[in-house]
């Protein structure tokens, strides 16, 4: 049972969507699509290679699939559906095309450090069946696309109102700024690493641009991308009050809040900040000082180092 525990939250979220008359068809078709995509792109390659890095292809392309499914099947105002579906597809394409490029360059022939860290976690949890643990982790990512990550998108696009509310605009502005800054952060780090490589320094700590204000601006901005979707879903959630029971309506609110919480936990503890820093401390001599002076996740001013 301890092997299957990571599946439980997203599995329950998927069942919740299937139990809703408003989202049953969308949830079912999206769920089947995610299943087929992850089976071919993630689960089979993991089974053959023992490497989890293929999730980096499956997850973002699953978002593209979700956006396409939502636009064609959701019955809300077409312009609202087009905007939110397009925003989600942009998120998926940015990461998905990058992942395909890494695959083309051969980087997926070795396990990424954040996924190497999973094996350390499994060892601490006394999970000896690594093959099963790998598959469960991969399926969990697919279920996330089929449950909580699809929920704000479905809710927004279900709204039939022709008027775009202020809160929807605020949410989309948050999405756009976070999407833009995440791209800037990735660009800054890539340029920094290239510059260091040219002068023969390979283990330097990137602390330029946005990386001066937190150690993982890309992860923070990805979290804010999803917070933008959640904010934009609030008017549509309010509009559903007269169409669903009070229990379902309040459950939707809790599920939308959990979407933000789920992404935070994932980006900080599961496959984000904590796993990457475990190996950065081992490889990069200046990383300890960087930890002392720079916030981990939430941006803020630098602090004086404890050791000069």
Is residue 136 pLDDT above 90, yes or no?
A: yes
Q: Nearest Cα to 179, choosing from 104, 57, 107, 84?
A: 84
Nearest to 268 by CA among 304, 295, 293: 295
CA distance 39 to 139: 9
Which one-letter DSSP state was computed for residue 160? -
Residue 19 has φ and ψ, to the nearest 5°, of -80, -10
As a residue count, the chain comes to 308
Specify whether the CB–CB gap between 225 and 182 falls below 8 A: yes
The answer, yes or no, to whether residue 308 has pLDDT greater than 50, is no
* pTM (2 d.p.): 0.94
How many domains, the chain?
1
The closest alpha carbon to 142, from 37, 16, 256, 53, belongs to 37
Q: Which range marks the domain in which residue 131 is found?
A: 5-293
At 138-188, the pLDDT tens digits run: 999 999 999 999 999 999 999 999 999 999 999 999 999 999 999 999 999
Flag whether 269 is in a domain: yes
Whether 257 is covered by a domain: the verdict is yes
Indicate the Cα dihedral angle 81, 87, 93, 94, nearest 10°: 180
Mean pLDDT in residue range 193-219:
93
Domain assignment of residue 236, yes or no: yes
Residue 33 within a domain = yes
Tens-digit pLDDT profile for residues 248-302: 999 999 999 999 999 999 999 998 999 999 999 988 889 999 999 999 999 999 8
């Amino acid at each position: 049972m301890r092997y299957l525990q990571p599946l439980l939250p997203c599995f329950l979220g998927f069942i919740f969507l299937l139990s809703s008359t408003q989202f049953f068809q969308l949830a079912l078709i999206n769920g089947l699509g995610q299943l087929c995509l992850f089976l071919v792109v993630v689960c089979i390659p993991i089974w053959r290679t023992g490497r989890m890095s293929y999730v980096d292809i499956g997850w973002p392309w699953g978002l593209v699939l979700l956006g396409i499914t939502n636009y064609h099947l959701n019955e809300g105002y077409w312009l609202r559906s087009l905007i939110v579906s397009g925003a989600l597809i942009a998120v998926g394409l940015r990461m998905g095309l990058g992942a395909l490029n890494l695959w083309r360059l051969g980087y997926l022939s070795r396990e990424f450090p954040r996924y190497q860290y999973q094996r350390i976690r499994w060892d601490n949890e006394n999970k000896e069946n690594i093959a099963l643990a790998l598959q469960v982790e991969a399926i969990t990512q697919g279920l996330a696309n089929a449950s909580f990550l699809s929920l704000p998108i479905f809710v927004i696009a279900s709204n039939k109102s022709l008027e775009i509310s202020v809160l929807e605009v605020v949410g989309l502005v948050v999405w756009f700024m976070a999407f833009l800054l995440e791209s800037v952060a990735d660009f800054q780090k890539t340029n920094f690493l290239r510059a260091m490589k040219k002068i023969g320094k390979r283990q330097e700590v990137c602390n330029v641009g946005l990386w001066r204000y937190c150690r993982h601006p890309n992860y923070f901005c990805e979290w804010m991308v999803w917070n933008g979707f959640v904010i934009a879903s609030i008017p549509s959630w309010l509009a559903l009050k007269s169409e669903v029971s009070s229990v379902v309506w309040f459950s939707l609110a809790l599920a939308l809040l959990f979407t933000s919480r789920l992404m935070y936990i994932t980006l900080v503890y599961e496959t984000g900040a904590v796993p990457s820093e475990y190996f950065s401390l081992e490889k990069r001599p200046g990383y300890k000082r960087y930890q002392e002076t720079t916030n981990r996740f939430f941006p803020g001013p630098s602090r004086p180092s404890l050791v000069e």
